Structure 1
Amino acid sequence: MSHPSPHTAHHVHEHEHEHGAGDHSEILDLDAEVLAEHIASITAWLPVGTGPRRIVDLGCGTGAGSLALLDRFPGAEVTAVDVSAAHLRRLSAKADAAGAGGRLRVVQADLDATAWPGLGTPELVWASASMHHMSDPDRTLRQVHDLLAPGGLFAVVELAGFPRFLPAGAPKEAPGLEERCHAVLDHHHAEQVPHRGADWGTKLTEAGFTVEGERTVTVDIGQAHTDAVGRYALGGLRRMRVRAASALTSEDLTALDQLLDIDGPHSVLRRTDLGVRTERTVWAARRT
């Protein structure tokens, strides 16, 4: 991975552009805010019995998963691992603000390394939108297997892609624009992120886990316009423009730039018909 922060909770991929590192952190925070209910539903679904005492969040980003896990398991301590020092500082500040800073430990590390720093012996390991970024995910799965306490659980959460925000037929100047942008990104990701969409159930079994459950969470927040949804859509469309620009027609680019012009009449921030549509799949795998 060539990104400054490859192992983050909700990867958006395009943070080398002018809205780069800071905006990437904001997108992660907005993702956590807008989709908090869905993240909580995943943590509530995990087959963990009385609850783990020690949790590791691999590729924590700015902490959507870590904070949800701290909330879900009030008796647990979470070790959050990420390659980005800036993301870890942001997470620490949020945990302190929530009164959970004493139960959070942050560790800066590259998860592609063959040897990881000491992460204890957790009963639960959480990896949200990070596994498909590993250069050798099969090795990473074996590392997680060896890290877990016997009988411990590994939760792998993967995304179906970055959310869609615009309604069908929008914008009227270029109907279907968002889908065309996603098609370009899908082609890019197929080349640059080959493990996206992998058969994680099979990979987990091959790594020695027993898969106890698989669940797909459908996110469909219809026309629930809030400032957070608008800013989330703005950040996502900005990133799509970076990757898709060379493959779009001049008409599509013009329409996209109108959406991104926050002072213009067609700004995505002015729309009241935005939604959030995506899917996330979680696998719960036991070390037996």
Structure 2
Amino acid sequence: MNHPSPHTAHDIHRHEHEHEHDADDQVEILDLDAEVLAEHIASITAWLPIETSPRRIVDLGCGTGAGTLALLERFPEAEVTAVDLSAAHLHRLQEKAAAAGAADRVRIVQADLDTTGWPELDAMAWPELGMPPELVWASASMHHVADPDRTLRQVHDLLAPGGLFAVVELAGFPRFLPEDAPEGAPGLEERCHAAIDHHHAEQVPHRGADWGTKLTKAGFTVEGERTITVDIGPPQTDAAGRYALSSLRRMRGGVASALTAEDLAAFDQLLDTESPHSILRRSDLGVRTERTVWAARRT
């Protein structure tokens, strides 16, 4: 078995710095996603087929709290257990919950969803709560797990009988430009999406999975499926511009090797905030994407 050579202190420091920088980038883009798409997230929580408001909710892969805060607002008597592997995400969520006056309604759990057991989520470990969750929410997290079928069965066992599992999945990166943009490289965004879709097919094989079939196989009864279409046209807010910039910055690493020199130069001009061609300076900037939600009942 081959072993990598030992890291120098400089290598370790650089790796930690890059990891922290990546975590900071993720925090920013998740916060901007929550701000720009708040209305659409609220429409999903309002659509959920729930007759009696839940008292206990679990948000699996909570990120910086877009779903957590939307659920707290939708269900004012509920408490949410927010689960994520990233300490940076959870710290930011705590800050946002405190700012919203909801810190006492959020319980933070740092955990890996790929583990075979979730003792931190076992109701037996929370005698003060007294019951399992009536609602589990997972937005843009299920496609990241190593074994979705196993994870779905774990969620099934975690839920209270009759409880609801809401799975929200995204249709990839949002789109921000008209089809004939940018000048000099029309259609650039579509070529970037084709490249990132190819990258995700290799690296994130469960993106785009048939979640309805998987939920049924795991023992759920799927009670509803809905696709939310987002099409926010110009003029745009400052947050939308920063959302586009952060999204395209994050996309660049996955597409750079697949682009021509001309396309890459045009892409980098979009990312250059000092350039007259910057994404922040475009009057035709939009936000277009889709999110699909499945509502599945533990019967």
Q: Give the TM-score, by structure 2 length.
A: 0.89
Kindly report which structure 2 residues correspond to 1:104-253, keeping only aligned pairs within 5 A, or say none.
104-119=106-121, 120=123, 121-253=132-264
Structure 1 residue runs without a partner (length 5+):
1-15
Aligned residues: 274
- 1:236 Cα deviation (Å)? 1.1
Letter in structure 1 aligned against 2:234: Q
1:85-100 alignment runs, 5 A limit: 85-100=87-102
Residue 172 of structure 1: how far off its partner (Å) = 1.1
Distance 1:18 1:95 in 2: 22
- Tell me how far apart the structure 2 counterparts of residues 74 and 123 of structure 1 sit (CA, whole Å): 14
- For the residue of structure 2 that corresponds to 1:106, the secondary structure is strand
Q: Deviations over 1:226-251 (max 9, x none)?
A: 11111111111112211111110111
Q: Does 1:40 align with 2:42?
A: yes
Partner of 2:282: 271
State the alpha-carbon separation in 2 of the partners of residues 179 and 156 from structure 1.
Answer: 27
Distance (Å, rounded) in 2 between the aligned partners of 1:224 and 1:66 = 29
**Amino acid corresponding to residue 134 of structure 2 in structure 1:** E
Matched with 1:75 is: 77
Letter in 2 for 1:95: A
1:127 CA drift (Å)? 0.3
SS of residue matched to 2:120: coil
Which of 93, 103, 106 is the aligned partner of 2:105? 103
Kept after mapping to 1: 8 A contact 2:212/2:294: yes
Cα distance, 1:17–1:96 mapped onto 2, change above 3 Å: closer
Q: 1:24 aligns with which of 23, 26, 44?
A: 26
Structure 1 distance, partners of 2:273, 2:266, is 13
Question: Is residue 27–residue 232 contact of structure 1 (8 Å, CA) maintained in 2?
Answer: yes
Q: CA deviation at 1:50?
A: 2.2
Q: Distance in 2 between matches of 1:17 and 1:118?
A: 26
Question: What's the RMSD between the two structures over aligned residues?
Answer: 1.4
Alpha-carbon shift at residue 259 of structure 1 (Å): 0.7
Which secondary structure does the structure 2 equivalent of 1:201 belong to?
helix
Runs of 4+ aligned residues of structure 1 deviating over 6 Å after TM superposition are: none
- 2:285 and 2:21 mapped to 1: Cα distance? 22
**Equivalent residue letter for 2:107:** R
Q: Give the SS at the match of 2:46.
A: helix
Which amino acid letter does the alignment assign opposite residue 262 of structure 1? Answer: T
Three-state SS of the structure 1 residue aligned to 2:268 is: helix
CA distance in 2, matches of 1:18, 1:82: 16
Superposed, 1:45-64 pairs within 5 Å as 45-64=47-66
Write the distance in 2 (CA, Å) between the matches of 1:50 and 1:114: 31
Q: Contact conserved, 1:166 with 1:273, CA < 8 A, in 2?
A: yes
CA drift of 1:118 comes to 2.8
Structure 1 residues 184 and 17, CA gap change in structure 2 (3 angstroms): farther
Task: Point out the more displaced range, 37-46 or 159-168.
Answer: 159-168
Per-residue deviation, residues 181-214 of structure 1 (Å, max 9, x unmatched): 1100000100111111111001000100000000
What is the TM-score with the length of structure 1 in the denominator?
A: 0.93
Which AA in structure 2 matches 1:162? F
* Structure 2: 5+ residue stretches without partners: 1-17, 124-131
2:290 equivalent to 1:287: no
Shift of 1:117: 2.6
CA contact (8 A) 1:109 1:117 kept: no
